[in-house]
Amino acid sequence: MVKLNPNRFFDPEPGTRNIAAELYESVKKLPIISPHGHVDPKLFSENKPFSNPTELFIIPDHYVFRMLYSQGIALKSLGVPTIDGSAVEKDPRKIWQIFADNFYLFAGTPSGVWLSHELYEVFNVSCELNSENGQKIYDELQEKLNSPEYLPRNLFDSFNIEVISTTDAAEDTLDAHKSIRNSEWNGNVIPSFRPDSVTDLSRSDWKINIQKLESVSGLSITNYSSFLNVLRQRRAFFIENGAVATDHGVLSPYTHLLSDTEAESIFNRAFLGKQNQNDADAFTAHMLMKMAEMSIDDGLVMQIHPGVLRNHNKVIFNKFGSDKGGDIPIQTEYTKNMQEFLNRYGNNPELKVILFTLDENTYSRELAPLAGHYPALKLGPAWWFNDSIEGMTRFREYITETAGFYNTVGFNDDTRAFPSIPARHDVARRVDANFLAGKVARHIIDKKEAEKIIKVLTYDLVKEAYNLV
């Protein structure tokens, strides 16, 4: 049986390492709160066995196949579905063998850390994955996936998940969520309201999504005013089904409130298919302001994820669609772009805004000072490419002196790969324990204070930030 080092990720200096280990031990068994992610809720409403290890570990996880693709391995050979339904590899064993042959590529990466935890801690695999034993491990995993212990709901319980939030489009019916709530299972799976599909006028499917929004709401959208009314109705529907937050994936955090006349004019042009990129940018900036107004009214926490140029690789996007590892960070400015938003809403204690970034250079220069001042604003954790051992450490180093610990919101895993959730949270707990141990060793805080803070970072802040208390 492969055993991971119990002191992994801790400082090699013995004194600091021992403090980190003690702090970690105090929180390692606390429940997991996963307030933002992309696990399909059908996993829990249907509660069917995972079909095979390939479907579980590889095909849904762009963190995995983007690395393999970067080494020249075709996505079709990994079984990633195409938009047009053209042929891809269907043999899960062949795909798994490619993964096993190339598992060494993940050394030193967060994906390698998560995968090792999944294989050796969650599934108790007996030997290290490589080319020679790839099929043996596949058989081990398949046997376990066929057992009741590894059904999605049972894994949810064994992972000690208190609540998990999915990400759902404004036009989603939430049927899977309703099925879960009507079942006898008591797992807490809640939706998050993501309106990007209908607020981003640059999307090629915008008009189609508006029609879907009309269909699920039972209301007509004929102008800007009726569009806002439908969004309010949908937010209320999501709240009825357990939602506590919205989520906004925008290219830029630019915010600006248009007049009703300006917004109506842009919306009408879009309805006729005559919008341009300037229209789309202005409308997105405006809708961030309107979403904040609605959050003040209905209490939904507002998450803003800026700074991603999505689907950078158009060859992959055109053949395989979105979320295939081609989303790339861009340089992002917050202080000026969000000044209008924060001056209008940032002083309002009735609003909670959680701001994320992929541009680490903004941590100490912009985000920490902003969060260290405006009551409505909190900093989301190191996210996506930065949710790694070193990335999480840099996040704490860059923001703590200015924003403190209590203007952050704990950790979220932002994953589609359900079995990686305990791995990701374990890494976050270890990194925070190690960071605090360093503060104790240097007598910046004492041990008692560190014991309090590690629990706050692991459990308390996320519950408070997302109104889950």
Q: How far apart are the first and last CA of the chain?
A: 39
* Structural domain count, the chain: 2
Mean pLDDT by 10 residues, the chain (469 residues): 93 98 98 96 97 95 94 97 96 98 97 96 95 97 97 98 98 98 96 98 96 98 97 98 98 98 98 96 98 98 96 95 92 98 96 97 97 98 93 98 98 94 98 98 98 98 96
Residues 44 and 54 in one domain: no
- Residue 279, in any domain of the structure: yes
pLDDT the model gives residue 425: 98
Residues 165 and 125 in one domain: no
pTM given for the model: 0.96
Q: Are 88 and 79 in contact (CB under 8 A)?
A: yes
**Residue 342 structural domain:** 14-48+154-465
pLDDT the model gives residue 44: 98
Closest by Cα among 397, 340, 333 to 359: 333
- Residue 163, in any domain of the structure: yes
pLDDT the model gives residue 105: 98
| Distance (Å, whole) CA 202 – CA 396 | 35
pLDDT the model gives residue 276: 97
Long-range contacts of 209-215 (CB under 8 A, 24+ apart): 209/169, 209/170, 209/171, 210/271, 212/171, 213/170, 213/171, 215/171
> Alpha helix (H) ranges present in 241-276?
260-271
**What CATH number is attached to the domain comprising 92?**
1.10.2020.10
Residues 142 and 201 in one domain: no
pLDDT the model gives residue 9: 98
Q: Are 14 and 3 in contact (CB under 8 A)?
A: no
- Residue 5, in any domain of the structure: no
Residues 418-443 as b/e (b if ≥16 CB within 10 A, e otherwise) read bbbbbbbbbbbbbbbbbbbbbbbbee
pLDDT the model gives residue 328: 95
| Distance (Å, whole) CA 200 – CA 251 | 10
